[in-house]
Amino acid sequence: MALFALGDLHLSFGTKKPMDIFEGWENHTERIKKSWCETVSERDTVVIPGDVSWAMNFDEAKPDFAFIHALPGKKIISKGNHDYWWTTAAKMNAFFTENGFTDISILHNNSYPYEAYGICGTRGWINDNSEPADAKVLAREAGRLEASISDAERRGLEPLVFLHYPPIYGTEYNYDILEVMYRHGIKRCYYGHVHGRAHKYAVNGERDGILFTLVSGDYRQFVPFKIM
């Protein structure tokens, strides 16, 4: 069994939001399917840290999740800034069950075991918390990350953190999120959100004892990144 990550699928089978207008995103759904099927087996797990679907509701999201369901492996998804279909965990789990998407799980204030590791995470937020509204959202996201990591630690697992927003970007540091990771001794963090020309400012490597890895779809050429 292997563990992979691939963020920012930006699927839009149920709504009109073509991605191939952006450089590097040409035929991206076909590329996702091909590379995923060549890389991932039914016994593997793939974490998708946000921006899964452009859908606004479950009806629009259904064909996107049917596409994901048809791909090999178990999928664990978390929220991105464009996942407007996202609602309560109870409603999402009911939607997956009703449609037979039993290989898709929600990462939200919880964790999932993978061998000796715990898959943890949350959406995160922007690095600039100067606005009161942003500071409020950021504090909530830090709390969700705390809950997720603590859930893994209660099981005796080493937490692996998956975020949508980068906790470090260029010279900007999101200390609310980082403080949680520092306090829990997190060693690995995988994130998405960063696209196109912004890739050059992404942190890929060790900072303060944490190995940061960008796994956004276009950065990885839509090939699931093998973690272990």
Domain boundaries, the chain: 3-226
Give pLDDT, residue 197. 94
pTM confidence score: 0.96
**Tokens representing 142?**
């830090």
Give pLDDT, residue 128. 62
- Show the low-confidence residues of the chain (pLDDT under 70): 127-133
CATH number of 3-226: 3.60.21.10
Give pLDDT, residue 136. 87
Give pLDDT, residue 194. 97
Give pLDDT, residue 129. 54
